[in-house]
């Protein structure tokens, strides 16, 4: 667990170490995609979900794009005939699905690689590479996820011509906020962690820029703690999944930034508590939640960067969940760090 805690605390330093790369991502993305309106973004699991917030930036700017699971895009999509620019994200650059996709990419198709392994198969075969730095000693994804979030945001900002989202405008302040969360005392997370550790079903819910993070956080609970975590957007929770709170060993984990939907999410939390649910929340700023909700407070930032700050809080929370379960390390038994079989 010491390696994981060290990885979490090193993230602000890692983000700053990637400043040049983020600047390159911002300034080069339009040129590398040829100003195309209709490119494809793909990856698997963590690498895919890191693009959700960036995809909202692109959609808001009216930029046509598709975000697709690599295996589904290859096996059921147009990967073998498509010639539009392709952005592939993979920490290792060696996942089976990525290798299989690269084998069928049309010759001459622009491929942009976002990877921590410049000399991987993905790095070697790509037209352009954004090789980010994200060294991790533990199995658990920490810097590789938060750095990928920032690379995706930088690329989307460049493509959308969002000068307010140029990395130079936010990186230093973001690193400070990440450092604040990474150095919170673990006791801050104890009550929330106890509620999750006692549960076998966890509904992970967020909205907007945090939906991809809810997916990643669910994966972390699934593979690390073997808790049946289910990501559900806040808007869909009342459309069926809420019935799961009737299970005696369930918990709802809510991600609530202080944005225009905070009031709706607070009302949802209040209703859940009224129905007898166990509710845990990570909230930014002065979001006012019912007294029975175990709340972890994080610093406020702009919507496009919330996922990074909340991600670090979830990493700290998972350390406390593992400790509550008397686990000495967070590492799955069936899943390798690099998936070699599709």
Q: For residue 328, what pLDDT band results from cuts at 50, 70 and 90?
A: confident
Chain mean position to CA 259: 19
Q: Which of 174, 239, 178 is nearest to 203 (CA)?
A: 239
24: which residues sit within 8 A by CB, 6+ positions away?
A: 130
Q: For residue 123, what pLDDT band results from cuts at 50, 70 and 90?
A: very high
Q: For residue 332, what pLDDT band results from cuts at 50, 70 and 90?
A: confident
Q: Residue 338: pLDDT above 70?
A: no
34: which residues sit within 8 A by CB, 6+ positions away?
A: 85, 110
Q: How many Cα atoms sit within 13 Å of 216 on the Cβ side?
A: 32
Average pLDDT, the chain: 96
Least confident of 25-39, 173-187, 238-252, 321-335: 321-335
Query: Distance between CA atoms of 85 and 53, rounded to whole angstroms?
Result: 20
Query: What pLDDT, on the 0 to 100 scale, is given for residue 139?
Result: 82
Query: What pLDDT, on the 0 to 100 scale, is given for residue 334?
Result: 73
- Mean pLDDT over 130-147 rounds to 93
Gyration radius of the chain over CA positions: 19
CA 155 vs CA 34, 55, 126: distances in Å? 13, 10, 16
pLDDT of 43-66, one tens digit each? 999 999 999 999 999 999 999 999
318-322 LR contacts (CB < 8 Å, sep 24+) = 318/140, 318/220, 318/221, 318/224, 318/225, 319/1, 319/4, 319/5, 319/8, 319/186, 319/189, 320/186, 320/189, 320/190, 320/192, 320/193, 321/193, 321/196, 321/197, 321/221, 321/225, 322/1, 322/224, 322/225
Query: What pLDDT, on the 0 to 100 scale, is given for residue 323?
Result: 96
Least confident of 23-37, 77-91, 121-135, 191-205: 23-37
Q: For residue 335, what pLDDT band results from cuts at 50, 70 and 90?
A: low
Q: Residue 211: pLDDT above 90?
A: yes
pLDDT of 92-115, one tens digit each? 999 999 999 999 999 999 999 999
**DSSP-assigned states of every residue in 189-251:** GHHHHHHHHT-SEEEEEE-GGGHHHHHHHHHHHHHHH--EEEEEETTTTTTTGGGGGGSTTEE
- Mean pLDDT over 63-80 rounds to 97
Query: What pLDDT, on the 0 to 100 scale, is given for residue 121?
Result: 98
Query: What pLDDT, on the 0 to 100 scale, is given for residue 337?
Result: 64
- Mean pLDDT over 213-240 rounds to 96
Whether residue 203 contacts residue 252, with contact meaning beta carbons closer than 8 Å, is answered with yes
Query: Distance between CA atoms of 216 and 231, rounded to whole angstroms?
Result: 8
CA 262 vs CA 56, 60, 236: distances in Å? 18, 20, 16
- What would the 3-class secondary structure string for 261-317 be? CHHHHHHHHHHHHHCCCCEEEEEECCCCCCCCCEEEEECCCCHHHHHHHHHHHHHHH
Query: What pLDDT, on the 0 to 100 scale, is given for residue 138?
Result: 86
The tokens for 292 are 């029975």
Q: Residue 256: pLDDT above 80?
A: yes
Whether residue 234 contacts residue 208, with contact meaning beta carbons closer than 8 Å, is answered with no
Q: What percent of the chain has pLDDT over 70?
A: 99
């Amino acid at each position: 667990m010491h390696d994981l805690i060290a990885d979490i605390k090193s993230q602000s330093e890692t983000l700053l170490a990637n400043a040049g790369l983020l600047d390159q991502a911002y300034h080069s993305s339009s040129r590398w995609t040829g100003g195309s309106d209709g490119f494809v973004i793909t990856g698997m699991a963590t690498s895919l979900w890191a693009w959700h917030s960036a995809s909202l930036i692109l959609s808001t700017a009216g930029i046509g794009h598709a975000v697709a699971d690599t295996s589904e895009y290859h096996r059921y999509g147009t990967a073998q005939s498509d010639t539009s620019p392709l952005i592939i994200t993979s920490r290792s650059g060696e996942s089976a699905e990525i290798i299989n996709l690269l084998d069928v990419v049309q010759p001459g198709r622009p491929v942009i690689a976002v990877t921590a392994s410049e000399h991987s198969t993905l790095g070697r075969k790509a037209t352009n590479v954004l090789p980010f730095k994200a060294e991790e000693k533990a199995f658990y994804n920490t810097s590789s996820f938060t750095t990928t979030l920032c690379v995706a945001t930088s690329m989307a900002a460049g493509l959308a011509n969002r000068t307010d989202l140029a990395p130079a405008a936010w990186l230093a302040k973001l690193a400070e906020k990440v450092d604040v969360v990474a150095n919170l005392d673990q006791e801050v997370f104890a009550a929330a962690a106890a509620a999750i550790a006692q549960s076998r079903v966890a509904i992970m819910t967020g909205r907007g820029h945090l939906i991809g993070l809810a997916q990643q956080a669910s994966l972390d609970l699934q593979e690390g703690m073997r808790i049946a975590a289910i990501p559900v957007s806040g808007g869909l929770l009342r459309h069926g999944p809420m019935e799961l709170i009737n299970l005696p060993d369930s918990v709802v984990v809510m991600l609530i930034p202080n944005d225009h939907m905070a009031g709706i999410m607070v009302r949802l939390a209040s209703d859940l508590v009224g129905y007898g649910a166990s509710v845990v929340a990570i909230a930014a700023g002065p979001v006012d939640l019912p007294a029975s909700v175990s709340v972890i407070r994080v610093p406020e930032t702009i919507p496009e960067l919330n996922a990074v700050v909340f991600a670090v809080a979830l990493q700290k929370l998972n350390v406390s969940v593992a400790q509550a379960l008397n686990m000495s390390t967070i590492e799955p038994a069936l899943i390798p760090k690099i998936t070699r079989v599709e």
